[in-house]
Structure formats: structure tokens, C-alpha cells
Amino acid sequence: MLLSIHQDGYHHAKAEKASGFCYLNDLVLACIRFSNNGKRVLYLDLDAHHGDGVQEAFYSSKKVMVISLHESGKTLWPGTGYEDEIGDGSGKGFNINIPLPLGICDIVYLEVFQKFVIPLINAYVPDIFVLQLGMDALAGDPLAHLELTNNTHAEIIGQILRYNKPMLATGGGGYHFDNTVRGWALASRNVFKYHGI
């Protein structure tokens, strides 16, 4: 199984401009590369900020299913990612936003993941997963208002790995240094443990 973990995860950059600390949208480029090689790509974004650059790139395309769980645009930049932003044209229904309320905790977040994301994965049957694991959704992040522990990201990675499909996992936001390091370390440990490394 292909498995790749990268620090980057620049999900805000647009085709013609940098945005939100992101100068190049490596996630979009990866998704395009995989889809051009005939793969059904499922992009899953767990960053506290909505991945507006990825949404824009595939909004009118069904080549990539884009799912984003993020703090509501009513309370956090970039002010996008509402539930009615579902794609258009051939991409209608392939863009799913799950805006979350302030202070959401692990239990509720994982319930949302089970209720909405798992059925979407099962219906879409992807060939490959591309994950953006922003750690700014963790409690204490100075730029966001969610209350997750690093166990949530690790649990979600564990569930994705059970599909036994290739996965590209990237970092992303995370502005509390210690929490971000611990979060990525636990997420990576979960991946390696799954593969017996």
C-alpha cells in the first residue's frame, strides 16, 4: 500500500494567488495527479479552517470528492465552507462541507465523522485518500476555537487505514507549537503501528 506523510498541506492557495499562509496548493496538485492517472480521489480536510482553495479547484468536477470538517465560516476565516456549498455542474454533490460549532469536543466530532463521512466514503468507494491533518482544531490553538485532543486525528486515521487504500497525509494549520508536534507525532505513530513499523 502506498503511504506518504508530508508536513505541508497548503489548502488555501488558489490557481492565481497565494492565500492564508499558502503559496502553492500542493493538495490540489496531488489530487489532480492521482485523478489524471484514473484514480477515484477522496480528499478529507480536518483543518479548523475551511480548505477553500481545494474546494474552488474541484467545485465543478466529480473527479475528486472533497469533504471538509471545519469551524464554521461564521466565526473563522476564510468565511466559507457552508453546508449549501455542494458543488455545481458535474461536481454537484461531490463537495461536502461540515461546518462545526465553537468548542466541539472529541466525542461529538467523532459522532459527526461516523454519521456523515463514513457513509460518504462507502458510497464513493475511493481508490486513494488525500488527507489534510491541520492541528489547529486542537484545544488551545490561538487562531481557532475548537476543543479537540490529538486522539481525534489519530482515531480518524485509524478508520481510514481500515479501507486498505493508498493514503497521502499532509500537515496544515497548527499554531500552538507543542500541541501541533504532539498531534502529528501521534497521528504518524498510529500509521506506523497499523503497518507494524
pLDDT digits (tens, 9 = 90+) for 116-155: 999 999 999 999 999 999 999 999 999 999 999 999 999 9
Calculate helix-pair angle for 177-194, 150-161, nearest 10 degrees: 20
Question: Is 6 an annotated catalytic residue?
Answer: no
Name the most confidently modeled range: 9-13, 43-47, 171-175, 177-181.
Answer: 43-47
Please state the pTM of the whole predicted model: 0.91
The DSSP bridge pattern shows strands 95-100 and 3-6 to be: unpaired
Q: How far is CA 166 from CA 9, 11, 157, 174, in A?
A: 17, 20, 12, 25
Among 6, 11, 12, 145, which one carries the catalytic annotation? 12
Give domain 3-194's CATH number out of 3.30.70.260, 2.160.10.10, 3.30.1950.10, 3.40.800.20.
3.40.800.20
Q: How far is CA 38 from CA 21, 32, 113, 126, 175, in A?
A: 31, 10, 27, 11, 36
